[in-house]
Each structure stands twice: as structure tokens, then as C-alpha cells.
Structure 1
């Protein structure tokens, strides 16, 4: 019996060490994969506040909570199992899924640019009369969750691409960790952003002069913050979308566009001294954004002018 107990404890200790190693592997891999998804996370965080802008303040947090639950459902119930099955049965398809998502982000960004320049708007906006507020809110939530599905698919695909060589348990753990962490970070940040004006009003009513001044500053700043986020979200869509397309073309053997973009990046880095890293990155990001904008314009024209698909196209049809 003692020998059996010792053997059992030894087995348990081996299993525990293996589990600890797996957790360490998952943590390290999730950290590395998470950095690769930064652009899409910025996009997600910048885009989401637009879904509650202009609606009743009392409905802001409930709407964000609905979108958060939809985002977790997207990632954990649909995308995570799908990504694992894909990595098992058809890993070569990952790059095409990434490029499809990149094309979608390029389309969304280009559509926003065209609307800002005076182009036709698609779908109901806050400038229209809202006859049924409940139906309009549900439409916005559905649009946000649908756009989140695309962005989440990009996050999961990028993550999966980074851990493709890991074993099944690590891949599953990394996808789950990144999916949950990104969702909580993005929608926690969004909740704070949309409530900044309420926080400012609360502080402005305090007796402390410093709190009152800071509160008024927050209230005055919110419209500018939301405008800046809308701009950043559009740029991020184009930058991420175009960058994915350049990378995908390179992976498929068409090296010219990516090599040219990296060549310009390296040329900037060689002449900018101490700021070479930042300016080189900004150069490649700008080229990626222009690629995304050009591709997006083509898709917008094809969908809205050629195929007359003017309604119900993702976020652009739900909220501006």
C-alpha cells in the first residue's frame, strides 16, 4: 500500500508539473499573441462607443453589457472551437480568413471616409427620426455584435497564427485567455469612456475646487474624445486591414507590395536617427492604411454601385 500511495503521489506530482508547465506556456504564448492583435483591439475600442453615442445615458451601460456578452459568445462558443477545428483540419485556410477579415475592415474604413467626405450614408443613423427606440437599440446592439464577430475573428486568427506550432491544449488555452482578456479590456475601457461625462458632472458638484475644475474639464472633453476615437477607429480599420492584406499577399507568394512597403519603412528608419523605430513603424502603418483605403474604395463601389447592396452591410449600416 505505501508503495502504491507513493507511486500515486509521484504520478500526481508529474501531472501537476505538466499542468504548471502548460499554464506557463499558455501565459507566455498569450502575451506574445496579444501584442500581435493590438491594432484590432484599438479598432474595437475606438469603434464601439459610437453604438451608444446619442442614446439615453441610462441605456449606455446596459447596451455595452449586451455587446460584451455577445462578444464573449462570439469568441468562446463560435470562434474558439472553429479556430481549433480549422487548425486541426485545414491550417492553410487561416491566411485566407485573415485576408477576408482585412478586406472587410478596409471596406468599413473606406465607407466611413466616403461618408465623412459627403458621400451617401447607408442605413438608419441618429440624424434620422427614431420611431421605435427599443427596435433602434436592438438594431445597434446587433450591428455592434456583428462587427465584433469580424474583429474577434481577426483577433482569434492572428492569435492562432502565432501559436500554430504549439500543442492542442496550449492553443486552446491561449485562444481562451486572449479572447476573454481582450473582451474585458475593450468593453471595460468603452464603459469608462461613455461615462466620462457623468463622472465629470459628479465631480463638478463636489466642494473641492480641484475636483470641480477637473469635472468640468471632463465634461467639456467628452465630445472631443468621442470625435477623436471615431477618427482613430477609422484609421485603425484601414491600417489593420491594409496590413493584413500586405502580409497575406506575401504569405501567398506575391512579395512585391509587402517588400516595397518594408523598403520604404527601412529607408525612413535609416535617415531618422533616434526616432527611427517610431517613424519607421508610422511609415509602414501609413502605407498599410493607404492600401486598405484603396481596396476599401473598390469594395464600396462594387457593393453599393454595381451590386446595389446599400443596406445591412455590417457596422456601416447600423451606426454612424
Structure 2
């Protein structure tokens, strides 16, 4: 029997996904993963035979995806800032919006610190997407990353090693490792858990049942971690510094007001992501706590 072509396999997979109202690009991601090709190479090979072993695996993986397993867990990685980060059920899958947080931090660092050696901490390291990317994009940054989960830190350390990034990892709850060491930072960046517990049932099954709740939920209103940050930040940041948060939809102004209350001399700002949503909050400049 003549093997099907890559194009025919893609068409079959797309129909499978369309019937179940699932994301169409998953078919493309899986087949590119099997063949280890980029999208351009895949398009050039559409008429090539698609081996039976791959077609069998495609059917298995699509059933897993349809049952709720994220495609990133099936293939084992996600792309972030043009790099491949390994992921597992122990870490949040990096989102494209978080790339915008990284860009904003790099821009603010240049504005306030130019070519100085800068101490930066990423709180809630997860896969290491933020800390590893910042360390690779700006070698003048001395990057530390904290996570409460040792399993998450294992994933993050593996990503730092495979991508040749110099990052120091610490296990602990929020800024506690810095408080214990009486260490201060120039930049604190975090994408903490911010989903309200009341939103749990409305989340997609891929998120709700396969990503770590520790990295998703921030209490009843989603703001618990930000409140805790406000008590710890003044003890951990230098007089000239930057605080950068990713926040959930509808939380930006509340978090900005929290930062403005703690750091009355600092500039505070809300930035929109590429979709026009208020997803980033910053405080920068004079981080002294009293006028």
C-alpha cells in the first residue's frame, strides 16, 4: 500500500481537530516535531511520504491532546524568545505575552543602568523562560531565580544548562531567600500566580488539569502574591531599581496602586501587551519607601 504524503497526514489531522473544535496548528506542531523541521522545510516537503510509524504516533498524540494533554507536554518543549525550553507538568508553559515582559525589562535596564553590572532576580522561575532569556540577552545582568518548587527548579536548571545561560537558582517562597541572606537587587521581575480561584472551572482543560496549580492560582481574587510582594520588596531592592510584574486581565491598576503606595518616589506604569490588554506593571527609579 502506498504511504500517505505529509500533506495528506496534515489534512487528516486538521479534520480530526476541526471536528472537535480544537486548535488547528497542533497538527503542524506535531508533524514538525516528528520530522524535526521548521515550517518552511515542512512546506517544501508536503508531497514527501509520511512514514507509517509517524502516522501511528500522530493518531496517538492527537487522542492525547483531545483528552486535554497540552501539546507542549506531548512534544516536551515550548518556544520562547526563539529558544526551545523544556517543559513538564511541574512548570507553567511559557506564554508569548511574557516575551513582552522580558523586552520591557531589557529596555528599562538600558534606560536606568546602561552598561552597569546589575543584580536581577526572577521570582517564580518556573521553566526558567524569563531568567534564562534575560541572562542570554544581556550578559551584564547577574541573574538569580527563585521558585518554591524544587521540581520546577530542576526543569529551570536543565534549561539554563542546555541553553548555556549563567543563572543562579534558589529554592524558597517569594523573596524569602534574599531576606534570609540580607541581599538586595537592582531589578525584581515576576510572573506570579494571578488567576482567581473562582475562575478555575472556566479554564481550558489543558490548563486546569495539566499545569501546576501552584503556578496558576493567586487566591480568591488572584492578588495574594502581589500583596505579599509589597511587604517584602522594600527590604530586597536597592534605592535605584526596577520592579516588573506580569498581571492578569483587570488587575493592572490595582497592582500599580499597590506599588505606588509602597514606593511613593518611583514612577509607576501599566503597559499593554500586543493584544491591547493591560498585562504588565512597573515601578522604577527612586525606590526609597519614604518621601
The answer, yes or no, to whether TM exceeds 0.5 is no
The structure in which a higher percent of residues are strand is 2
Work out which of the two has the higher radius of gyration on C-alpha atoms and give 1 or 2. 1
TM-score by length of 2: 0.25
Higher relative contact order (CA closer than 8 Å, sequence separation 6+): 1
